[in-house]
Structure 1
Amino acid sequence: MSTHGWCRVSRWSAPGRVNLIGEHVDYAQGLCLPFALAERTVVEAAVRSDGRFTARSDAEGGGVDLALDDVGPGSPAGWAGYAAGVLWALRDAGHPVGGMDLTVTATVPLGAGLSSSAALECAVAVAADELFGLGLPRDELARACVRAENEVVGAATGGMDQAAALLCTAGHALLLDTRDGSTRQVPFAPADDGLAVLVIDTRVRHDLADGQYGARRAAVEKASAALGMPSLRDATPADLEGLDADLLPRARHIVSEIARVGEVVALLDAGRLRDIGPLLDASHASLARDYAVSCAELDLAVQVARDAGALGARMTGGGFGGSAIALVPVERIDAVTDAVRAAFARAGLTAPEVRTAEPSAGAGRDD
């Protein structure tokens, strides 16, 4: 803990996340299975008495200094909107939130599909909750973070990333039912089975506010409306047969992906982690073909990892770049890593960054 002028400055942090399976279904009332990463975004925060919000980041150029009353949809633009938007959402919900000074440092890679945005939002949320004595439950903090991203930043994301950053526990994946908000901690400790989850950052950066993510969400909502359903959560493959050709593959991904989450959870509950590989493979195929959110670099990483000994692999995150994950026997970690890097070099691509993902704890106080 340190001091900043006359204000007391403290530290909070929130993790990035990997979604083991259940991609692009959080806005369709589906099931997701993320786990938190060891990489975290840290905020040093202090209360201001003048109703202003300031923020600076070691990873982003520039900073912001504006009145809290000026925060709202579209303001501030850029990365600071994720942080300031949380304060706006809490205030809009009637909570007594005032001005804040914020300094951000992060080890969650930006744009890598590991939810650096939600890590920032959730670190700010737990800081504000404590600094202003709100005492809010984590699910309410998560809703504020989602509103920040949807309404202030303008990215039409669901709630999986924020729930993961706030609710995950070490050694577990979080089964999140986005229809009713219920959660369950599912044991997930790959090292205990002689396995590791590799995260392969393709270094292709994406921006979820650029319209592609929103277009997929709009297609899903249009499909559910065409079927006369509130969501695709309970739709069956047979229900989809009458959909227009442009909506059918998008809806087919949602329905099949939700089913795959249930199958993976059943295998994990049965202690059969090694058997989930084919379901990871099927998820990637669905995301690449039916949902069209993969890219050449992700497809290459996934295929090469499998060929080098991964039990299964898939893209993770919103797509259009970012990261892939591979479930790998520990004795094959070096072989898979070397094979992926060599394949990228042969293709003339930027060298990927490969790291091991350890299921870790959610957001909290850092000092």
Structure 2
Amino acid sequence: MPASPAIMEAIRQGSWIRKMFEEGAILKARMGPENVFDFSLGNPYGAPPAPLAREIAHLAASPPPDLHKYMPNAGFPDVRRSVAEDLRKGTGLDFTSGLVVMTVGAAGALNVALRALLSPGDEVIVIAPYFVEYLFYIRNAGGVPVVAESAGDFQLDLDAIRAAITGRTKALILNSPNNPTGAVYPSEALTALSGILSGGEKRAGGPIYVLSDEPYRKIVYPGSEFSPPAASLSNTIVVYSHSKDLNLAGERIGYLAVSPDAADAEEVADACVFCNRVLGFVNAPSIMQRAVAGFQGIEADMSVYTKNRESLVATLMESGFSVVPPGGAFYLFPRSPAEDEMRFIAAALEENILVVPGSGFGRKGYFRVAYCMDPKTVERSLPAWRRLGSRFFGRKGGRA
């Protein structure tokens, strides 16, 4: 076998998201795109903001002298200053450009941070349900994933996190708003988590870093509020992507920022710069760095996501599904009406609905609905959801 057995096993276990997306492409070719309701992939809805599109066009047509040349591995200094200023406003902490590294999206940032922090065998806590790629990123750096379950409403289970801490714990990945559940962790929970991590650091014999994965932090619904983990948790590395707020998913532009309150902050930042280079990223895409610099404070357009959330939550609940309304992001994570979630996935496919099984996120018995799409598509899907409710619950109305 020429390929690594470990990689072949990872492919076998790989992302259900992509598998269902590919299934959707086949179904659309056969049925026509307008007849397929593809809730599988979290591709943000809409084009980038018009001013940003104009800025990208301007940079391409009239590039500054340094645009296509080598640069510092951390990124353009003026861009990092813009990021640091935005973080100071959002967290109240004294972030500086020296603590910011521009990265190839949030995925690049996580891989860089984990490689900078971990020695072989170090443990990283992930909270289930989780974005499945976290496990691969941790193993890429020689680490060991340790899963702590969330509470029934997908909020933090602080006792589970406490129990997961060992003498080898080096980091915890926090994702709020969460993919796949949409859970948003309130400041009180983060404050309580800080106490647990402080106690755990005595067992671990050193700091436990929090990798705060925040690509959805600007997509939060009324009734919830994003609380920046860095404001409550001292040893935080902020991880961000402009995939969701600026609709630049394909451009792979993001950053990591080490909290000024973190232990050995400058040393960790220097290690991240080095790892950005030796992992082969070298630096984030230059034109996108320049483009996003002036758009750090822009708000995400919530109108489509809010409309789709309201329609789907109401219809699924009325049809009998058990679903926790998300506080942020653009996902629902309902409980599967069939004990075998794959039986429900197959039934949904019969209605031309594509969703992702919860086992792909470390939580069997659930499924994920990504509703980042044209509201007209969501509206056309509602009768199919009602038919599924009737099929599994025997009625179209709500369940007591």
With structure 2 as the length reference, what TM-score do the two structures score?
A: 0.25
Return the structure number with greater strand share: 1
Q: TM-score, normalised by structure 1?
A: 0.26
